[in-house]
Amino acid sequence: MKVSNVSRNIPLAEITLRKYEKPYEMPKRELVKKLCLSIGLLQPGDSRDVVVDVFCVLLDNKEVNGNAIVDKVIEYRKKNNLDLKGVAGSNIRRQLKRLKDLFLIERKENGYRISENENLSNLFEEKIEKFYLKSIVSRVKEYLVSLDNLKKWYFYFFSMEIGEYIVDLVNNRYEQRSGDKPYDMDLHSLVGDVAVEYGIEIADCIKVVDELERSKRLSIIGGKVLPGENGIRNSRG
């Protein structure tokens, strides 16, 4: 059974973090709203921000019965002179799940509470920073390493192609020499020409030449490049 590209692209975990100005003296609801923006529970410019009121209700109560939380959220929004958009039970349950997915709250029998009744700063450090975020960063690093390895393999095979080109170039020039014409395959000219031909950095081209010299397919004497003992063609008669 084939796995669709859509299912492959669904993240196993995700989190959005934003940096705002340092907290200053402000009403509690505004402080909670800024926290929700900071950890991705709200998007900048969102007009429906009932998740803030859900969070505030849970912060104000040791535990809230699941059947009563909608009424408490409505009461809280009325108290703050806010409209009642987004207070449907289905949406409240969705916001509870989002808070739960970030380990900020937990289900306790028939109600909800701040996880383990712990301080929020401790929850963030232990549940998000040290566990959830760490696992995401670790997986991102795996992708980075995979790309680095892919780049190394690509350059390895590309280097083999460039190496064959250089050896053929040196052999051809060496074979075309005449008795009274000195051999003039200059190392710097060779490296520069090949780098231009393949669109690579001169430093990368030098790495290929160094490897060819180590494998004795090239010999470099006095700045001149000659075929090495393992690079001389045997087809000349």
Dump strand ranges (E) for the chain. 64-65, 105-108, 111-114, 218-221, 224-227
Q: Do residues 159 and 211 both lie within one domain?
A: yes
Q: Do residues 18 and 103 both lie within one domain?
A: yes
pLDDT of amino acid 190 = 86
Q: Which residues contact 35 (CB under 8 A, 6 or more apart)?
A: 55, 120
Rounded CA-CA distance 230/186 in Å is 20
Give the distance between the most distant pair of CA atoms in the chain.
102
Q: Do residues 86 and 55 both lie within one domain?
A: yes
Structural domain ending residue among the three candidates 88, 117, 146: 117
Please indicate, yes or no, if residue 236 is contained in any of the structural domains.
no
Low-confidence stretches of the chain (pLDDT beneath 70): 1-7, 155, 178-184, 231-237
Helix (H, G, I), strand (E, B) or coil at 236: coil
Q: Do residues 14 and 102 both lie within one domain?
A: yes
Structural domain ending residue among the three candidates 117, 143, 178: 117
Q: Do residues 98 and 49 both lie within one domain?
A: yes
Per the DSSP assignment, residues forming a β-bridge with 180 are none
Please indicate, yes or no, if residue 235 is contained in any of the structural domains.
no
CATH of the domain at 75: 1.10.10.10
pLDDT tens track for 16-50:
999 999 998 899 999 999 999 999 999 998 888 99
Strands 224-227 and 218-221: antiparallel
Count how many domains the chain has. Answer: 2
pLDDT of amino acid 187 = 85
The two structure tokens encoding residue 142: 């795996």
Rounded CA-CA distance 64/113 in Å is 6
Q: Range of 12's domain?
A: 5-117
Report if pTM > 0.85: no
Rounded CA-CA distance 232/229 in Å is 6
Q: Do residues 79 and 106 both lie within one domain?
A: yes
